Structure 1
Amino acid sequence: MITASPNFWRGKQVLLTGHTGFKGAWLALWLCQMGAKVTGISLPPNSMPNLFTLANIAQMTNSHSADIRDADAVSNIVTKVQPEIVLHLAAQALVRHGYKDPLGTFATNVMGTANVLNAVRGVNSVKALVAVTTDKVYKNLETGRAYKEDDQLGGFDPYSASKAASELIIASYRDSYLSEQGIAVASARAGNVIGGGDWSEDRLIPDAVRAWDSDLPLEIRRPNAIRPWQHVLEPLNGYLVLAEKIYTDSSLAGAFNFGPQAHEAATVQKVIELANRLYGCGSVLWGDGTAGPHEAGLLSLEISKAQEILDVTPRWNLLETMERTMGWYQQQRSGVNADLLCDADIAAFSSAQKV
């Protein structure tokens, strides 16, 4: 069971797309903490407050405000920076927003990913690229079986379909261009992430914190929906270790699932009841599952490939994940600096034992 290696990342030139987002900001912090030289490409943060600003990530990184849908802008930055490793996280990452703006979702997640992959063609400094997709890339028949990396791709809603399509593009660029250029390309499919520092709209824990801090009830549409919840550091560790492994052994390039153990998948209701108890305040209005557009009721991932090949295994169970998440928000609200809270969680995670 391994954690990202500071010895590997120290001094590495890393290009990180989406560094102003929730997961991207955490990843930028961790990379900088390990001594990597991080260049970020992203749109401005999409919420106020946001972790990128609170943790002063712009001061730690070579930060570029650019849209991955702009192929020339992406290519120019890649050519100038000459990165050794590319971590592609920039995306339209919300299912319900995908229903509202399908064309924007496809443009960002499909063509944006193609632009990033195309930008590294002919850039000899690049040795490894990890493109992050989602657990929702699978054709979800809701049979109760956890999905494996070789299961059929699909997508009922525009967001899921866009991410499944991006998987085909990732594989196509790997097979058609990048592997013969010496660039190892992998995709990472992660379950639902939670953790301190997320204020995005239409996400479960941020919605809860906003409602309860405003003394409003939290409205839950689908309390019985089951998801593979995990702390944000779990998949980020997976992305980092995956990049390390394919950097030194390109034969490992391919798709990897990152999530909790299958039995740790939990209902929205269980997560919110834990969050409410730990936060110590707030009320909840439970829906009957009929409001809003279609969303999958059941989703879980098979993670044995990551465990066996990468030695990446979950470290925090759902209870500890929720304790650390709600504690992060409580401490930040009381005045503790966001970067210090993140540093503490990274240190604790790095020394934790597997669940």
Structure 2
Amino acid sequence: MGLEQGSVENLVIMTGVLPNHNFWRGKNVLLTGHTGFKGSWLSLWLTEMGAHVAGLSLPPVTEPSLYSKLPEPSNSYIEDIRDRSALLKIGEAGSPDIILHLAAQALVRASYDDPVGTFSTNVLGTVNLLEYTRCLPSARVVVVVTTDKVYQNLEHPFPYRENDTLGGHDPYSASKAACELVVASYRESFLKGAGVAVATARAGNVIGGGDWAADRLLPDAVRAWSFQKPLLVRRPEARRPWQHVLEPLSAYLVLAERLWETPQLAGSYNFGPVSHEAASVRQVIEIARSAYGEGEVIYGDSADGPHEAGWLALETAKARHSLGVMPRWTLEQAITRTMTWYRDLANGADAHDLCKAEISEYEAAA
């Protein structure tokens, strides 16, 4: 396995750690963005571990949505995080111990259509959440999810580290970089002194069953191929750090656990595939087409549409060494599982059962 001298530290890093069910049992958790793709998976996982989940989010933005196919959290608030008064309603659900902030406008191309909404949701929404946290004597941990796109992307073939320069060409990336600055300011100015450990999580491109968002690669593929239509791929040579949705969600949960135990670990963390690993859109689609069993693809020439980064990779050494987090599924496994999830759903399987089984299989993976 490549371990050096049987080191226990290396053993932990090589096998990776998982969320601790005993830790989460009975915890009061505020989850923003719980109606979204990642939020729906995370709400289910937390509930399965025995956490008391209060969710705050806008209604699902897609039809169908994974949220509508899963049990609601114990307290669900359909509110706009840009409205500070909306957060006060959560007090009815009890004071949260841990806050997981996923609510966001999360699409690059949509940010060109609505830059004001993107900045107000991703920046002001985070300000509102952190202001709310300042008033919570119960809160001990906050994990704010941003993106791998927070870095000033120089299009070089080297992975970005947590201390690299922040930036953003498109409104989405810039809004998330600004969100990072907001979090750092609140951490140093207010929350660290109040005993609240705050971290940001920068995850790579996420795939998995239950995502029906527009302008996302595998959902677009499923939509096209299910109707026997060709999939048009704009930028087939663009490279990204792809990962199954359960990889970053597991990392967020482990990060929250570590912050609870060791607040000094507060800061920013990259989560993604093994360092330096990035795959092209073309590679992902060819694996997906093989797993799906059919599908026509038309590859574009990368000239159409607004600017999008051509190369992006993350250095994840900090997460491995400080948290013991590393991926459990390969890219091929992640893609195959994603396409199988959609195919099984189309054949009559229950989404709740599919998600529960996937979580169990992830936890059992070595």
What's 2:206 paired with? 193
2:334 is the counterpart of 1:291: no
2:153 is the counterpart of 1:140: yes
Q: CA deviation at 1:81?
A: 2.7
Structure 1 distance, partners of 2:282, 2:358, is 25
2:241 is the counterpart of 1:239: no
What's 1:50 paired with? 65
8 Å contact kept, 1:228–1:262: no
What's 1:35 paired with? 50
What's 1:348 paired with? 361
What's 2:9 paired with? none
C-alpha root-mean-square deviation of aligned residues, in Å?
1.0
- Residue 86 of structure 2 aligns with an amino acid whose one-letter code is A
Structure 2 distance, partners of 1:160, 1:263, is 21
Structure 1 residues 83 and 269: alpha-carbon distance in aligned structure 2, compared to 1, 3 A threshold:
same
- Residue 197 of structure 1 aligns with an amino acid whose one-letter code is G
Q: CA deviation at 1:79?
A: 7.3
* Secondary structure at 1:285 match in 2: strand
Instruction: Determine which of 6, 20, 38 is the counterpart of 2:35.
Output: 20
Instruction: Determine which of 60, 64, 85 is the counterpart of 1:72.
Output: 85
Structure 1 distance, partners of 2:131, 2:41, is 26
* Secondary structure at 1:15 match in 2: strand
- Residue 350 of structure 2 aligns with an amino acid whose one-letter code is N
Instruction: Determine which of 323, 328, 331 is the counterpart of 2:344.
Output: 331
After alignment, is 160-169 or 337-346 more displaced? Answer: 337-346
Q: CA deviation at 1:78?
A: 4.8
Task: Give the percent of matched residue pairs that are identical in Structure 1 and Structure 2.
Answer: 57
Query: Which ranges of 4 or more aligned residues in structure 1 deviate by more than 2 Å?
Result: 78-81
Instruction: Determine which of 228, 237, 244 is the counterpart of 1:215.
Output: 228
Instruction: Determine which of 81, 102, 109 is the counterpart of 2:94.
Output: 81
8 Å contact kept, 2:25–2:51: yes
Q: CA deviation at 1:262?
A: 3.1
- Residue 24 of structure 1 aligns with an amino acid whose one-letter code is G
Instruction: Determine which of 262, 270, 293 is the counterpart of 2:275.
Output: 262
Q: CA deviation at 1:76?
A: 3.6
- Residue 312 of structure 2 aligns with an amino acid whose one-letter code is L
8 Å contact kept, 2:158–2:276: no
Structure 2 distance, partners of 1:153, 1:78, is 35
Q: CA deviation at 1:319?
A: 0.7
What's 1:63 paired with? 76
| Gap regions ≥5 residues in structure 1 | none
* Secondary structure at 1:264 match in 2: coil
Q: CA deviation at 1:281?
A: 1.8
8 Å contact kept, 1:122–1:181: no
What's 1:158 paired with? 171
Q: CA deviation at 1:349?
A: 0.9
For residues 43-98 of structure 1, the C-alpha deviation after alignment (integer angstroms, 9 at most, x for no partner) is 00011111101123x2x431000001001111342575310000000000000000
Structure 2 distance, partners of 1:310, 1:347, is 21
Structure 1 residues 78 and 242: alpha-carbon distance in aligned structure 2, compared to 1, 3 A threshold:
farther
Structure 2 distance, partners of 1:335, 1:183, is 45
8 Å contact kept, 2:54–2:93: no
- Residue 23 of structure 2 aligns with an amino acid whose one-letter code is F
Instruction: Determine which of 113, 136, 147 is the counterpart of 1:100.
Output: 113
* Secondary structure at 1:130 match in 2: strand
- Residue 192 of structure 2 aligns with an amino acid whose one-letter code is S
Structure 1 residues 106 and 346: alpha-carbon distance in aligned structure 2, compared to 1, 3 A threshold:
same
2:148 is the counterpart of 1:126: no
For residues 88-111 of structure 1, the C-alpha deviation after alignment (integer angstroms, 9 at most, x for no partner) is 000000000001100000000000
- Residue 61 of structure 1 aligns with an amino acid whose one-letter code is S
8 Å contact kept, 2:75–2:93: no
Instruction: Determine which of 17, 21, 40 is the counterpart of 1:6.
Output: 21
Structure 2 distance, partners of 1:21, 1:8, is 25
TM-score, normalising length from structure 1? 0.97
